[in-house]
Structure 1
């Protein structure tokens, strides 16, 4: 079965890796990405849609196929405030998920975050948890929510504190708190693909350590 994949968050750390893996994967005949600006990628399987995420009518009829992958997310600094971060991380993601279901897409894979909890007092894990709960109610036939810990890999923008902290976290989690060990973007991307190619209907949430296992489920 040849599939058509839709990707949002295609220019981020995980998204870039995901697109490259999908383009190489024989199980996918078309990879459609929704982006604000051109990715600069040229490939026979790639369809690039330049859109305004805030205007659903600009992309709604283009969201068709077999699966929606979301690696869409931002930071408080990039967004410029909590309201804008909520818009990107929750509103945009939820709009895409709902429209995907309306358009007949039954596979949805979301990159969430370790510690996501809708009842958290902290802003970031709370909004991630809110999104996780919201998409869980949409009714996808195959839903996979991945909650990786710290991400490593090449980013467009440098995050100095993250670069400094990852080696420390990696050392500590080698011995204790193993579920919080850093994970490379390509590993998360592979786990996203495996969630579609080898679905486990009884399981929807993959916690940090489990994301590593999912990446190996070939």
Structure 2
């Protein structure tokens, strides 16, 4: 099986890291990235669509069929956001894209980047965790071939990539220490990308992948 993947969020840190792994992997045949602004990345496998409104995919819908994987790495920080705004940008946006892709690509594996601490009950005190939990729960109800919820913690950046979050520049030197004292909270962007590719090719026993699952699958 050759993977034909759609990657969202490729101008962000996680999406760029996942895209990098896809472009290097021999089982990935082609990659489509959908961005609000140009990524500046060129590669023989890569096609890019610039599209600003993820709530209205109708103008590009005819270009979204024929793929068997989506690695959804698009997201916003909840910092400073009220719940309705964060819900719109996290739950509503993600489900709109996912519903369109599941309708167009019945054999698709959908991988969603959530976060460590996500609340599957949707009832906890943490606003972001409740919204992410609802997003995960409803994604798993869609008619994808497979759907996997990735809950990474700290992700060590891939050397040479450009979209590292500012805070990571100040803490990345602590990565060797994090690996020792917080082994179930730490992975790398490379491992996250490899894990998405591996679950697409081989499946996994759980739909929700915590950090230890991500590291297990990504290092196969």
Q: TM-score, normalised by structure 2?
A: 0.84
| 2:40 counterpart of 1:40 | yes
* Cα gap change, 1:23 to 1:169, in 2 (>3 Å): closer
Name the Cα RMSD after superposition.
Answer: 2.4
Cα deviation, residue 205, structure 1: 1.0
On the 8 A contact 1:14/1:186 being kept in 2, the answer is no
Q: How big is each residue's C-alpha offset from its partner over 1:20-78, in whole Å with a ceiling of 9 and x where there is no partner?
A: 2212222222100110001011112111011121222133332221111111111135x
Can you give the 5+ residue segments of structure 1 that lack an aligned partner in the other structure?
none
Q: Secondary structure at the match of 1:179?
A: coil
Can you give the 5+ residue segments of structure 2 that lack an aligned partner in the other structure?
none
On the 8 A contact 2:64/2:101 being kept in 1, the answer is yes
Cα deviation, residue 129, structure 1: 0.7
* Alignment-derived partner of residue 30 in structure 1: 30
On the 8 A contact 2:156/2:175 being kept in 1, the answer is no
* Alignment-derived partner of residue 198 in structure 1: 202
| 2:165 counterpart of 1:179 | no
Cα deviation, residue 139, structure 1: 2.8
On the 8 A contact 1:148/1:209 being kept in 2, the answer is no
* Cα gap change, 1:139 to 1:54, in 2 (>3 Å): closer
Which residue among 202, 209, 213 is the counterpart of 1:210?
213
Cα deviation, residue 172, structure 1: 6.5
Question: 2:215 & 2:103 partners in 1: Cα distance?
Answer: 31
* Alignment-derived partner of residue 111 in structure 2: 109
* Cα gap change, 1:25 to 1:173, in 2 (>3 Å): closer
Q: How big is each residue's C-alpha offset from its partner over 1:161-188, in whole Å with a ceiling of 9 and x where there is no partner?
A: x65567779747734x5422x2222221
* Cα gap change, 1:195 to 1:163, in 2 (>3 Å): same
* Alignment-derived partner of residue 123 in structure 2: 119
Cα deviation, residue 114, structure 1: 0.8
* Alignment-derived partner of residue 163 in structure 2: 156
On the 8 A contact 2:13/2:164 being kept in 1, the answer is no
Judge which range, 113-122 or 165-174, deviates more.
165-174
Q: Secondary structure at the match of 2:180?
A: coil
Judge which range, 99-108 or 125-134, deviates more.
99-108
Q: TM-score, normalised by structure 1?
A: 0.85
Question: 2:156 & 2:219 partners in 1: Cα distance?
Answer: 18
